[in-house]
Structures are given as C-alpha cells and as structure tokens.
Amino acid sequence: MRRAVFSLAYGAAAALLFAYAVAPVSSEAQAPTTPATPAGRADDVVRFRITNPGQALYKIAVPAVLGDAQAAAVMTEVLSADLGVSGFFKILDPKSFVADLTKEDVNLVADAWKTVGAESVIKARVTNSGGDLSVEFRLYELVKGEQPVLGKTYRGPLGDTRKLAHLFAAEVLRYFTAEDSFFHTQIAFARAEGRQQELSVMDWDGANVRQLTRNGSQNYMPGWSPSGDALLYTSFVRGSPDLWLIPSVGGKPKRVSTRPGMNTGGVFSPNGGQLAATLSFEGNSEIYLLTPSGDILKRLTNNPGIDSSPSYSPNGGQIAFVSDRYGSPQIWVMDASGAGQRRLTTKGSYNQEPSWAPKQINGQSLIAFTGRDEKGNFDVFTINVGSGELTRLTEGKGSNSHPSWAPNARALAFKSSRGGIWVTTFDGKSERQVYRGAVETPTWGPMRSP
C-alpha cells in the first residue's frame, strides 16, 4: 500500500492512489516609431546580459498606461507582472513617481525619473474605437536621453487587450537580454470541482482559464507535448488510473495506456517521439519507455523499490526520476536508455517531483523538486546536476510542491498551501500568486506563437 501512495507523492493525488490501492493572432505590429540603437555602437554596452546570479535587478518604471481606462488598467497590470517575474527587472513602486504623467503623455522628462532611481521607463497610450484597440508603446533608457529606444504600435480587438501588452513586454525583454520570454505561455493544472478534479489550462498569469475535461472523475498530472498541441494526463474516468491524451484546445480524449494497475506521470521526450511513464502492471511501480500511441518500447527501471515521476533533460539524453530503492524517496538520474542510474540528492529524507530545467541557467543544468525539511515542511528546491549544489526557493510560507519550469527556465510554477498556483523566479527572489483555488499538479507549457 505504501507503494501506491508514494508513486504520486502526497496530497490529493496520493489520496487517490491510496483509495485505488485499497479498492490565431489578430494584432498588428508596426515598425518602431523610433529605431533602437544600431548594433555595434559603443553605447550598446548599456544593454545588459544578466549572467551573474548576484547582479542587481534593473530598475524599470511602468507608469499607468494612458487612454481608454479599462484597457489601460489591464495593460499596466500585465506589463508589470510580466517584467516583474521575468527574473531581470525590479518594478518601481508607482507611489514613488514624481513626474507629471498627464503633461508628459508618452514623452519623457528624464530628470523626473532619475529622481526615483529609474533606469528605464515604459510609456503607452491606448485608444478604443468601437471595440478596436490601437496602442502605442515606448521604451526609454535614461542614459540615452529623452528619445525612445524602442517603439511599437499594435492593433487588435478588445479581447486582445492582454495579448497586446504581453507582446510589448516580450519586446522589452528581448531588447535588453536577447532572450525569449514566457509571456505567451500557458499552465495546465487539475482544478477541484467538488470531490472531483478536472483538467484546466490558463495563461501563465492566471488569465483565460478554460476547462478541458468534463468527465466528473479524477484527472491530474498533465504533461505537455513539445508543440503544446496536446496534453497527457492520468484519469480515473474508467475506474482505474489510465493514461490519456487530449488536445490542449479541448476535444475528445483518447486512452494511451490502460494496463492493469497504475498508468501515471506520462511525459513526452523533447522531440515528441517517445513517452516515459510510470506503470505497475508487472507488480511494481517502474518507469517504461512508450511510443506516443502507448506501445511499450523498453522497461527503464527494474528493482524492488518504487520508481516514478520521470522528467526529461533538455536534449532528451537523460531522465530524472524518483526512487526509494535505498529506503526513502530521492531524486535520481539515468540515461534515456535506462543505463547509468545514479542518486542525485543526498540530503533530506523525502525528495520527489523532479522537473528538469528546459535549458541551462548561467551555465548550470538544474532540476527543481519538492523536498521535506527537518521540520516536516514541503518546499521547492533546485539541485545543480553537475555539482549537487542545492538552492531552496521557498521557505516559511506554508507547504509548496510540484514545481514546473517556464520554457525559458527563468521562472517556475508551483502549488502552495497558501492557495492556488504561484510563480517564482528561478532564484526564488520574487514570486506572485497567479491562480487562487484548490489545484493539483500545475505544469508549465512550451513556447507558443502570440
């Protein structure tokens, strides 16, 4: 019975297995209103490339967007949220602003912003003509004077209000760092519906929540396809924990693995050509390699302990997983062929739910996981695959679990006993709640077109 409980860790998912054991973009981007500094000029050094984890965050002011009140308020909130959790910027408190925003309009009086410590300022004005929006965004770098270094004009329907703000936030991030953002990504999760759990998807910041499953059963542990067009998940809709696949836009699901016992924790390989999943039809929870249609290619683990929760490395060459073969659940890694299995975590008596960062951060390959500390609290940690160095991302704020990386590896989503889903920067220095309510197993989706 302990084996069934451990396979899905603890909480609602564990309770389920315990019970089983005993029974198109419409916006238009125009050319910049003012061209950015040409590449190669000396003052390009003002742009930054944050590679030092100890480097100070870049101070940016996001005053209220001007124009149509409803759209402006939403755009201001989106810009601040996107950049604030990107891992690069410190968003200055609007209460500190001394500039005359009405007089400045979308222009800039540099001295008024230098006074509050701003290094850059975003200005914008949005108009609403019968439900059609037009918004002009400008980015200023104070060291470069009072002319914008980046300008964009977007048009789209009122329903694209958030999308237009996400677009410019992504441009700002790319201008300063040359990195892609996660501002157009989605998070899948299991949402409590009475005593049941239905699969849902939302924008990374909690907007546009939509329900995918409506079967009145237990559905959880979503795993995105590399293209983002489908989700693997485990469901009890037929009475046993089977592995299913459903389009991420909604539609008719199909069963992938229906073997006796558990069929859980399904994840696609990075190229989408294979699946790794936890199956127990041979009497013990082990990790298997499957085709996308569910045929078994290979058994990857084979020992008396419990092996579960596979997570692929970015290149698909390795898999992180959980094993209690030495008495307590710990994070392990192995080659994608099953060879070279080795224990990664050596501290803590209960480590689970590994999530391999989809790209290196500051030259480090990191795995996030849930660990139980000496006080019995669950929190989110990362471990450097090469050095074994541990970093604790959450502490003293309830119970936090099931971390999942943003596709650019600059942030993680996780479930918290404080309520709902939270997002933190990869170093744990900044976090925000993005969804309120009872949830399980949040999983961040891949990059997608805006």
- pLDDT given for residue 55 in this prediction: 63
Task: Report how far residue 270's alpha carbon sits from residue 316's, in angstroms, rounded to the nearest whole number.
Answer: 6
Statement to judge: residues 150 and 271 lie in one domain: no
* Percent of the chain residues past pLDDT 70, beyond the cut: 88
Q: What is the mean pLDDT of residues 393-409?
A: 96
Task: Report how far residue 417's alpha carbon sits from residue 401's, in angstroms, rounded to the nearest whole number.
Answer: 9
Q: In this structure, is residue 161 part of a structural domain?
A: yes
Q: Answer with the one of 177, 198, 223 that is the final residue of a domain.
A: 177
How far is residue 175 from each of residues 31, 38, 64, 403, measured CA to CA in Å? 15, 12, 21, 29
Statement to judge: residues 199 and 172 lie in one domain: no
Count, residues in the chain: 450
Query: Are 154 and 28 spatial neighbours (Cβ–Cβ below 8 Å)?
Result: yes
Statement to judge: residues 145 and 287 lie in one domain: no
Name 73's Cβ contacts closer than 8 Å, sequence gap at least 6: 64, 65
Tell me which H or E stretch contains 166.
helix 161-177
Statement to judge: residues 340 and 203 lie in one domain: yes
SS3 call for 410: coil
Which tokens in the block code for residue 337?
């062929």
Measured in degrees and rounded to the nearest 5, phi and psi for residue 284 equal -145, 150
Q: In this structure, is residue 115 part of a structural domain?
A: yes
Q: Give the model's confidence band at 36: pLDDT under 50 very low, under 70 low, under 90 confident, else very high.
A: very low
pTM, to two decimals: 0.88
Statement to judge: residues 122 and 142 lie in one domain: yes
Return the CATH number at 168.
Answer: 3.40.50.10070
- Going 261 to 400 to 179 to 172, the CA torsion angle's sign is positive
- pLDDT given for residue 28 in this prediction: 41
Q: Answer with the one of 130, 149, 177 that is the final residue of a domain.
A: 177
Task: Report how far residue 265's alpha carbon sits from residue 257's, in angstroms, rounded to the nearest whole number.
Answer: 11
Q: In this structure, is residue 49 part of a structural domain?
A: yes
The strands making up 330-335's β-sheet, listed across from edge to edge, are 307-312, 318-323, 330-335, 342-343
- pLDDT given for residue 341 in this prediction: 98
Tell me which H or E stretch contains 141.
strand 132-141
* pLDDT tens, residue by residue, 297-339: 999 999 999 999 999 999 999 999 999 999 999 999 999 999 9
Statement to judge: residues 35 and 17 lie in one domain: no
Q: How far apart are the first and last CA of the chain?
A: 46
Q: Which of 59, 211, 198 is nearest to 121 (CA)?
A: 59
Q: In this structure, is residue 146 part of a structural domain?
A: yes
How far is residue 81 from each of residues 85, 100, 140, 381, 444, measured CA to CA in Å? 6, 24, 19, 23, 17
Highest average pLDDT, of 201-210, 422-431, 441-450, comes from 201-210
* pLDDT tens, residue by residue, 158-174: 999 999 999 999 999 99
Statement to judge: residues 92 and 191 lie in one domain: no
Task: Report how far residue 184's alpha carbon sits from residue 345's, in angstroms, rounded to the nearest whole number.
Answer: 33
Statement to judge: residues 248 and 321 lie in one domain: yes
Statement to judge: residues 199 and 131 lie in one domain: no
According to DSSP, residue 424 is labeled: E
**Residue 23 in this model has a pLDDT that exceeds 50:** no
- Share the mean pLDDT of the chain: 89
- pLDDT given for residue 53 in this prediction: 45
Number of domains in the chain: 2
List the beta strands (DSSP E) in 294-438. Answer: 296-299, 307-312, 318-323, 330-335, 342-343, 351-356, 366-372, 378-384, 390-392, 400-405, 411-416, 421-425, 431-435
- pLDDT given for residue 24 in this prediction: 33
- pLDDT given for residue 26 in this prediction: 37
- pLDDT given for residue 192 in this prediction: 86
Query: Are 226 and 272 spatial neighbours (Cβ–Cβ below 8 Å)?
Result: yes
**Residue 377 in this model has a pLDDT that exceeds 60:** yes
Q: Give the model's confidence band at 448: pLDDT under 50 very low, under 70 low, under 90 confident, else very high.
A: confident
Measured in degrees and rounded to the nearest 5, phi and psi for residue 440 equal -140, 155
Statement to judge: residues 155 and 207 lie in one domain: no
Statement to judge: residues 85 and 226 lie in one domain: no
Q: What is the mean pLDDT of residues 70-83?
A: 97
Q: Residue 60: which domain range?
A: 31-177
Q: What is the mean pLDDT of residues 60-77?
A: 98
Long-range (24+ apart) CB contacts under 8 A made by 111-120 are 113/61, 113/140, 113/142, 114/142, 116/61, 116/92, 117/59, 117/92, 118/59, 118/60, 118/61, 118/92, 118/142, 119/58, 119/59, 119/60, 119/143, 120/58, 120/59, 120/60, 120/61
Q: Answer with the one of 115, 144, 177 that is the final residue of a domain.
A: 177
Statement to judge: residues 158 and 251 lie in one domain: no
